[in-house]
Amino acid sequence: MTATRVLITTDYLRPGDEVDEFLRLSGLETVHLPMVGRRDPEQLVAALAGIDAALVANEPLTADVLARAPRLRVIVRTGVGYDSVDVAAAARLGISVSNLPGINANAVAEYTMGLLLAGARRLVQSAHGVAQGAWPREDGRELRGSTLGLIGYGASARAVVPLARAFGMSVVCSTNVPARLRSDPLVGFADLPELLAVADYVSVHTALTERTRGLLGESAFKRMKPTALLVNTARGPIVDEDALVAAVRAGQIAGAALDVVGEEPLPLGSPLRGVDGIVVYSHMAGQTAEARAAAGRRGAEELVAALEGRAQFPVN
C-alpha cells in the first residue's frame, strides 16, 4: 500500500522535530522542502508530485498548480492568512484547505504595540542616525491619551485592545463583525471613514479579500490626521503603496510602519524605500518561538484530522 505523503514547506519545521515525529507516528511519510525565497509554479508542481497533504507557508498555490497535483487532498496553512491559496479552485478539486485562526494573536498584538512605540518615538530613525555618526534628538510622542483605530476585529485585533488600554489609549474599531459579537465595552465601533478621521494611529488587522484589496488608498489617507501613523501587520495589498508614499511625502499623514508589503521580500526598486517616515519590517509579527511551536503542533493535528475527514478549521 502506498504511504500517505506530506509535504512540509514552513521553514521553521525540520526533519526529526516534534511536528515531524507526530506526523510519522500518525503513519505519514514526511517530505521537507522549506520555503526560502520564491518558487516558480513549475518548482511548486514538482514539489507536490506524489504528495497527499501539505503543511505550507505562503506558497502561491494557484488553480493551475493545484490542478497539476492529482494526489493532493489536504492543505494546512501554518498561520492565519490563506490568501496565497486559491481556495475556490481547491474546493472544486476536492482539496480541503485549513488555516489556524488566532494561532499567533498574542505575538501579533505585542508586535503591533512595538511598532506603535517605535513609530511614536522614531526609534528606528534615531538608531539609524546614531549608526551614521549623528545624534538625533527629535521629540517623539506619547501613546497615552491618543486614539488607536483598529481595522478588523479578529483575534489579533482583540488581543491588541487590553495592551493599548494599558498604555492609556482609547480604542475604536471598524469591522463587519455582526453587532451581537461586538461585546467589548472598552472598544468604540465606527465605520471606516469615521475611524480614519479620529484615530491618531491606524492598525490593520483585517483579511485580504477583493473587498479589502487597496482599502487604504488616496481617499483614505486624505481622511486621516496629518499626525497619524499607519501600522500594517495584516497583508500588504490592503494598502495602496504608491498612494501611501504620496501621502507621507505630502504630509497628509505622518508615516507608516509596515510589517507586510505587496511584494516580499521588498524589491530594491520599491517606492517605499528611502521615504522618511515609512519603515518596512520583514513580516515578523507572528514569528515568535511560542507562536511557531503552537502553529507547528496545531497545524500537524489539523492535517491529520483533515485527512480523516474531520478538519476543525476548514476555510473552503
29 as an active site residue: the answer is: no
Cell of 98: 485549513
Catalytic residue among 205, 283, 292, 298: 283
C-alpha atoms less than 13 angstroms from C-alpha of 300 in its C-beta half-sphere: 23
Peptide bond into 265 cis (omega under 30): yes
Catalytic residue among 110, 194, 218, 264: 264
Distance CA 168, CA 175 (A): 22
Answer whether 259's CB lies under 8 Å from 230's CB. Answer: no
Residue recorded with cell 508586535: 111
Catalytic residue among 235, 241, 292, 298: 235
- What's the distance, CA 156 to chain centroid? 10
32 as an active site residue: the answer is: no
Residue recorded with cell 522614531: 122
205 as an active site residue: the answer is: no
Planar angle of CA 294, 59, 307, nearest 5 degrees:
60
Cell of 49: 508530485
> With the CA atoms of 263, 264, 269 and 273 taken in that order, what torsion angle do they form, in degrees rounded to the nearest 10?
100
Distance CA 10, CA 20 (A): 12
Active site residues: 235, 264, 283
